Amino acid sequence: MVDTQRRFFLRSKRRVNLQALPWVKDVANFTDLCTRCGKCQSACQESIIVAGDGGFPTVDFKKGECTFCYDCASACPENLFNAEENAPWHQAITITETCLAQNAVECRSCADACDTRAIQFRMTLGSVAQPQITTTSCTGCGACISPCPVSAISMEQRV
Ligand code: SF4
Ligand code: SF4
Ligand code: SF4
């Protein structure tokens, strides 16, 4: 008997998500000012900040979600972060074709993880319920990313 869930898991591509920290002022020039001191990484209570390429800090949503505590920004000795009253970032998720539901396998793990109900499942004729994203309700927290059994969720920048 074919284990469909495992088959899709093996097929799925592992996504590398080099994600900027929240409230970073100038993502494009971040590496010019960041000294790689690691203070933001130590400050993050969710332990989602890791050393990425070149040792520069990045958020790894495979390790968890951003709770928007602002501790990383507060810990940074450089002038790299916007004030807390600004939006932390402009991003929202997309769900790719490896999604189990899109391949007729029942799964709602992402919606279960989303506090803002930005992912809702709608019944469809001839298949299982399908995820629909309300981008304007997505905070970009990343909480839905690690629960997805096939790594089908990626984060996209919004302009
Ligand atoms: S805002 Fe808080 S939870 Fe989010 S990355 Fe910074 S320290 Fe971690
Ligand atoms: S605390 Fe600031 S300077 Fe230090 S690694 Fe983090 S972002 Fe870079
Ligand atoms: S990133 Fe956060 S707010 Fe957006 S859909 Fe996922 S869990 Fe919901």
* 71 inside domain: yes
Rounded to the nearest angstrom, the distance between the alpha carbon of 65 and the centre of ligand 1 is 8
Tell me, yes or no, whether 62 and 105 share the same domain: no
Of the given ranges (3-17, 19-33, 92-106, 131-145), which has the lowest mean pLDDT?
3-17
Which protein residue's CA is at the shortest distance from atom 3 of ligand 2?
34
* 81 inside domain: no
Confidence band, pLDDT 50/70/90 cuts, at residue 140: very high
With b for 16 or more beta-carbon neighbours within 10 A and e for fewer, the 97-124 pattern comes to: ebbbbbbebebbbbbebbeeebbebeee
Rounded to the nearest angstrom, the distance between the alpha carbon of 14 and the centre of ligand 3 is 19
Number of domains in the chain: 2
* 80 inside domain: no
Nearest to 78 by CA among 56, 49, 52: 56
* 20 inside domain: no
* 129 inside domain: yes
Instruction: Return all residues near 88 (Cβ < 8 A) that are at least 6 apart.
Output: 22, 23, 66, 68, 140
Contact between 140 and 59 (Cβ < 8 Å)? no
In terms of residue numbers, what domain contains 139?
4-13+89-157
Tell me, yes or no, whether 151 and 103 share the same domain: yes
Confidence band, pLDDT 50/70/90 cuts, at residue 159: confident
CATH number at residue 139: 3.30.70.20
Which residues, judged by CB distance below 6 Å to any ligand atom, belong to the binding site of ligand 1? 21-22, 43-44, 46, 48-49, 59, 66-72
Rounded to the nearest angstrom, the distance between the alpha carbon of 116 and the centre of ligand 3 is 7
Cα(122)–Cα(136) distance, integer angstroms:
18
Contact between 90 and 157 (Cβ < 8 Å)? yes
Cα(131)–Cα(108) distance, integer angstroms:
8
pLDDT of residue 2: 39
Confidence band, pLDDT 50/70/90 cuts, at residue 106: very high
What are the distances in angstroms from CA 10 to CA 57, 117, 147?
Answer: 29, 29, 16
Cα(89)–Cα(87) distance, integer angstroms:
5
Tell me, yes or no, whether 93 and 148 share the same domain: yes
* 83 inside domain: no
Tell me, yes or no, whether 96 and 123 share the same domain: yes
What digits encode the pLDDT tens for the residues 7-63?
333 333 333 347 999 999 999 999 999 999 999 999 999 999 999 999 999 999 999
